[in-house]
């Protein structure tokens, strides 16, 4: 079968995306508008849309535009346009509205603050006053860590292909001593604690606890708290929620039943399971997609401009070429 015929068939499948979902499945597409989408995003989002379609479920588009320094509305518009060009359709989103609006994280601050407050009241958080410099001193210079991570990735297990590389170092626990006694922090008053700004709020993990889950694509996964990841930030000192907090809060609020995303987020899933438990949220199912790597075996990032959907489209590639791995050699 030639490519154009295959693509025509694919379009018929897209057209069959149920206008009103017939099952309780709810999936999502969650692009971050910090650059143009590339081939890796295209495949992951395509998989998400096919799984929602096959389940007769709903697909939600959520714009993860929390990073004020790197997010651009032009990238958000480009992401929507590129996904439409690929043939992906969704039922709810920033461009369409829906019962769980708003669908842009930059407009959902009250939800994250409510989640922070709940975690704080339940005793899961402590304020961390470490500066970036403090952490670097405690952990060793950043270039040493990156070198170690690269050596890891080049080991025979080919970790990077699965995307297990997660360079967020394990927090050394400097401020942990203040757990549950936040008011004893020198210079702090009760009022300071009620206002989240000014500290990085960390979620305290139980060292040695194994977090296990069954991935619908990659099989059984296991990560150990305190070893694979440490106490992680849920709210930054500037008041912005972390990816982990925003993600679980929105997935729960929007009733998401399956999360399809890149395998670089496997360890994030372990953290999010702990957050879901602490917040009383039901875990969704997970389907992590293997990452697309370039010709040097490095995983694609937004810096690979020559592999952005925009650039490939300008070079005359069709959605079919992109989704079927007919990648051009990187320019």
Binding site for Zn ion (CB under 5 A): 128, 130, 174-175
Of 174 and 179, CB closest to Zn ion: 174
The structure tokens 């992109």 sit at: 322
We find the least distance from the C-beta atom of residue 214 to Zn ion, in angstroms, to be 34
Calculate ∠ Cα 185-273-276, nearest 5°: 70
Report the nearest approach of Zn ion to the CB of residue 130 (Å).
Answer: 3
d(CA 103, CA 37): 19
In the complex, least distance from residue 129 CB atom to Zn ion, rounded to whole angstroms: 6
In the complex with Zn ion, which residue's Cβ is closer, 100 or 178? 178
Would you mind telling me the total number of residues written for the chain in this entry?
A: 331
Give yes or no for a cis peptide into 102 (omega within 30° of 0): yes
In this complex, which beta carbon is closest to Zn ion, that of residue 156 or of residue 186? 186
When the beta carbons of 129 and 290 are compared against Zn ion, the nearer one is: 129
Name the 3-class secondary structure at 52.
helix
Q: 């650039």: which residue's tokens? A: 311
CB of 318 to Zn ion, least distance (A): 51
In angstroms, the CA 324 to CA 318 distance is 10
CB of 174 to Zn ion, least distance (A): 4
Q: Rank residues 39 and 175 by Cβ distance to Zn ion and give the closer one.
A: 175
- As a whole number of angstroms, the distance between CA 20 and CA 59 comes to 10
**Cβ-based nearer residue to Zn ion, 237 or 313:** 237
Distances (CA, A) of 21 to 15, 52, 124, 314: 14, 9, 37, 34
Of all helices (H) and strands (E), which one includes residue 288? strand 285-289
CB 242 → Zn ion: shortest distance, Å?
15
């Amino acid at each position: 079968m030639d490519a154009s015929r295959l693509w025509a068939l694919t379009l018929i499948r897209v057209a069959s995306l149920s206008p009103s979902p017939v099952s309780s499945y709810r999936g999502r597409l969650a692009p971050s508008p910090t650059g143009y989408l590339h081939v890796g995003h295209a495949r992951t989002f395509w998989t998400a849309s096919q799984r929602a379609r096959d389940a007769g479920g709903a697909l939600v588009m959520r714009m993860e535009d929390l990073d004020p320094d790197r997010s651009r509305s032009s990238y958000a518009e480009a992401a929507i346009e590129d996904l439409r060009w690929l043939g992906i359709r969704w039922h709810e989103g920033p461009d369409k509205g829906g019962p769980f609006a708003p669908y842009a994280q930059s407009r959902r601050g009250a939800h994250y603050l409510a989640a922070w407050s709940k975690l704080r009241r339940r005793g899961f958080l402590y304020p961390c006053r470490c500066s970036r410099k403090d952490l670097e001193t405690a952990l060793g210079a950043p270039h040493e860590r990156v070198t170690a991570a690269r050596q890891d990735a080049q080991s025979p297990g080919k970790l990077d292909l699965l995307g297990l590389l997660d360079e967020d170092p394990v927090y050394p626990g400097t401020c942990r001593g203040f757990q549950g006694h936040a008011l004893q922090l020198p210079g702090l008053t009760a009022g300071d604690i009620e206002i989240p700004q000014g500290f990085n709020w960390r979620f305290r993990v139980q060292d040695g606890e194994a977090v296990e889950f069954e991935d619908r694509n990659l099989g059984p996964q296991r990560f150990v708290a305190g070893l694979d990841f440490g106490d992680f930030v849920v709210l930054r000192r500037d008041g912005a929620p972390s990816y982990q907090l925003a993600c679980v809060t929105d997935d729960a609020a929007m009733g998401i039943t399956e999360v399809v995303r890149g395998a670089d987020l496997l360890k994030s899933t372990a953290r999010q399971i702990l957050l879901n438990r602490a917040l009383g949220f039901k875990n969704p199912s997970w389907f992590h997609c293997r990452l697309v790597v370039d010709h040097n075996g490095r995983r694609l990032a937004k810096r690979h401009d020559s592999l952005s959907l925009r650039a490939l489209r300008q070079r005359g590639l069709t959605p079919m070429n992109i989704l079927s791995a007919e990648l051009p050699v990187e320019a």
